[in-house]
Structure 1
Amino acid sequence: MSCILFPSPIFGPIHSRRLGLSLGVNLLPPSAKVCSFDCVYCECGLNAKNETKPKLPTREEVKTALEKKLAALLSKNMIPDVITFAGNGEPTSHPKFLEIISDTIELRDKYVPNAKISVLSNSTFVNRPSVMEALQLVDNPIMKLDTVNEDFIHLVDRPNAKYDVEEIIRCLENFKGDVIVQTMFLKGSVDGKEINNTTDEYVQPWLKVLDQIKPREVMIYTIDRETPLKTLKKASPQELDRIKDILESKGYKTLVAY
Structure 2
Amino acid sequence: MATLSTINHDRKIFDKKYIYPVVSRRAGGLSLGINLNTNNACNWQCIYCEIPNLTRGKPEAIDIPLLKKELYFWLEEITQNNFLSKHTNPGTAFKDIAFSGNGEPTAAKEFSDIVSIVVEAVKDYKLESQLTMRIITNGSNMCDKSVQSGWDFIQSMKKEVWFKIDSVIHDEVKLINQINGSLGMTAKNLEASLSVSPTIIQTCLIKVGGKLPSKKSINAYIDFLKNYEDQLSGIHLYSLARPSEQNITLEIERLTQIELNQIADKIRVLNLPVHAFI
TM-score normalised by structure 2 residue count: 0.79
Report whether the alignment pairs 1:23 with 2:37: no
Which 4+ stretches in 1 moved above 4 angstroms? 3-7
What CA distance in whole angstroms lies between the structure 2 residues aligned with 1:28 and 1:225? 20
Q: Which residue of 2 aligns with 1:55?
A: 60
- RMSD of the TM alignment (CA)? 2.5
Q: Which residue of 1 aligns with 2:235?
A: 218
Residue identity matched to 1:108: V
Q: Which residue of 1 aligns with 2:222?
A: 207
What CA distance in whole angstroms lies between the structure 2 residues aligned with 1:94 and 1:170? 20
Q: Which residue of 1 aligns with 2:103?
A: 89
Deviations 1:107-126 (A, max 9, x none): 11221221111111011111
Deviations 1:43-93 (A, max 9, x none): 11352379xx87332333322221222122211244621111111111001
**2:189 alignment partner, one of 164, 171, 188:** 171
**2:52 alignment partner, one of 45, 53, 57:** 45
Greater mean deviation of Cα atoms: 109-118 or 88-97: 109-118
Residue identity matched to 2:184: E
What CA distance in whole angstroms lies between the structure 2 residues aligned with 1:156 and 1:27? 23
Report whether the alignment pairs 1:155 with 2:175: yes
Q: Which residue of 2 aligns with 1:101?
A: 115
Greater mean deviation of Cα atoms: 168-177 or 81-90: 168-177
Secondary structure of 1:81's match?
strand
Residue identity matched to 2:24: S
Greater mean deviation of Cα atoms: 18-27 or 163-172: 163-172
Residue identity matched to 2:142: V
Aligned residues: 244
Distance 1:119 1:54, change over 3 A: closer
Q: Which residue of 1 aligns with 2:142?
A: 126
What CA distance in whole angstroms lies between the structure 1 residues aligned with 2:11 and 2:23? 16
Secondary structure of 1:213's match?
coil
Secondary structure of 1:84's match?
strand
Q: Which residue of 2 aligns with 1:140?
A: 160
Report deviation, 1:5: 5.9
Q: Extract unaligned runs of 5+ from structure 2.
A: 1-8, 85-92
Report deviation, 1:165: 2.6
Secondary structure of 1:146's match?
coil
8 Å contact from structure 1 (residues 18, 255) kept in 2: no
Secondary structure of 2:268's match?
helix
Secondary structure of 1:224's match?
coil
8 Å contact from structure 1 (residues 59, 100) kept in 2: yes
Residue identity matched to 1:172: L
Percent identical pairs in the alignment equals 23
Report deviation, 1:148: 0.5
What CA distance in whole angstroms lies between the structure 1 residues aligned with 2:206 and 2:181? 21
Distance 1:124 1:247, change over 3 A: same
Distance 1:49 1:25, change over 3 A: closer
8 Å contact from structure 1 (residues 8, 57) kept in 2: no
Secondary structure of 2:227's match?
helix
**1:72 alignment partner, one of 63, 74, 77:** 77
8 Å contact from structure 2 (residues 226, 270) kept in 1: no
Distance 1:76 1:148, change over 3 A: same
Distance 1:200 1:23, change over 3 A: same
Residue identity matched to 1:145: I
8 Å contact from structure 2 (residues 62, 110) kept in 1: no
Report deviation, 1:130: 1.4
What CA distance in whole angstroms lies between the structure 1 residues aligned with 2:60 and 2:236? 32
